[in-house]
Amino acid sequence: MNQLSKYVSLIVPCRNEVNYIPFIIKNILEQNYPKELIEVFIIDGLSDDGTVEYIQKFVHKYNFIKFLNNPYKVVPYALNIGIKNAKGDIIIRLDAHAEYPKNYISTLVNYLEKLNADNVGGVWETVPSVNTHKAKSIAIALSSPFGVGDATYRLASSDVEYIEVDTVPFGCYRRDVFDRIGLFDEQLTRNQDNEFNERLRKAGGKIYLIPSLKIKYYARENYSKLYKMFFQYGYFGPLVDLKLKKPTRLRRYIPTAFVLSLIMPLLLSLLFYPFLYLWVFTVSLYLIASVTFGTYECRKRDSVQLVPYVMWAYFVSHVSYGLGYLKGVFDFMILKKHLKSKLDVELSR
């Protein structure tokens, strides 16, 4: 079967996205993939900001755009609702806070077939959502190895055609993947894609990143939203480990080690004063690394004035993730909270 004859289902989870949903719909309408081979499910989590009313205008205008309700509000439920309704040979998840090139669908479908892959995706180019120093600094921090570790999909260059990876943003899947390994885990408000892709790889699935395919991803616009987002990423980390029955990627544990390196020496110094020197050493080493990476990233962008803001973005993301992970350890590994009740955590947008 020719790749451009594949029927594709697009799944777009959203909640209170009235400022962004116009752009994602515009991106979809501008795709160079045959419209008769596309169905779009916009799955709304009980929005109350006018998102639903805006979507309905397009549902009435285009028969391939469909609206579904997500009474549970959060992403994994929306994804599973979409998958259960989808008729496509290929299922692509889209995020409302991103901008996609016109060849996005056709490129993903092409590489899914060419590589005989189970999931393919493009590279995130993290951009500020508003024109402020805070927003710009957050976008820079989330595009830096010091900010996000070795997350290939955030850092990859276009020097190679494709890279086999452990995860990709959003994802373009063969339909039979969900028949083979099941749906997304609905307890994971965050990290559901990481857990799913680890399951997929364990089952022998292949995941590839296409570095030439760029997705503009709009980062959080302030530090409080950045904190909440990374806290949630960290919080669900231990639950992912429990479900997979193994540790995942090293980069996901480093922020927790950093937070412990700040807390433990201070506590131990109450019993044995020299531990305070260890704390000073840790903080000094972190500051040196933060200044070095922050300056390097800002000079590349001719934005040296943003160095202090980027350093703070580094610190907020690292500490929030680490604290979230520690709370997840307490809630899931000690209290077994996930076995006792439904997890009710709203996203940070």
7-65: per-residue pLDDT in tens? 999 999 999 999 889 999 999 999 999 999 999 999 999 999 999 999 999 999 999 99
Has residue 125 been placed in a domain?
no
Has residue 117 been placed in a domain?
no
CA pseudo-torsion sign 244, 249, 251, 254: positive
Q: The pTM is what?
A: 0.90
When divided into structural domains, the chain yields a total of: 2
Range of the domain at 328: 250-340
User: Of the residues 44, 75, 96, which one is the last residue of a structural domain?
Assistant: 96
Helix (H, G, I), strand (E, B) or coil at 232: helix
Q: How far apart are CA 232 and CA 75, in angstroms?
A: 13
CA-nearest of 314, 279, 323 to 295 is 314
Contacts of 172 (CB under 8 A, 6+ apart): 90, 91, 92, 93, 108, 109, 112, 119, 120, 121
Has residue 86 been placed in a domain?
yes
Let me know the angle formed at the C-alpha of 124 by 19 and 327, rounded to the nearest 5 degrees: 80
**Per-residue pLDDT tens digits for 94-150:** 999 899 999 999 999 999 999 999 999 999 899 999 999 999 999 999 999 999 887
User: Of the residues 41, 74, 96, which one is the last residue of a structural domain?
Assistant: 96
Helix (H, G, I), strand (E, B) or coil at 9: strand
User: Of the residues 69, 96, 123, which one is the last residue of a structural domain?
Assistant: 96
- Considering only CA atoms, give the Rg of the chain: 21
Has residue 30 been placed in a domain?
yes
Has residue 210 been placed in a domain?
no
Has residue 268 been placed in a domain?
yes
Q: Is the pLDDT of residue 322 over 80?
A: yes
Q: Is the pLDDT of residue 1 over 50?
A: no
66: domain CATH number is: 3.90.550.10
CA-nearest of 303, 318, 310 to 140 is 310
**Per-residue pLDDT tens digits for 195-234:** 999 999 999 999 999 999 999 999 999 999 999 999 999 9
Has residue 298 been placed in a domain?
yes
Has residue 113 been placed in a domain?
no
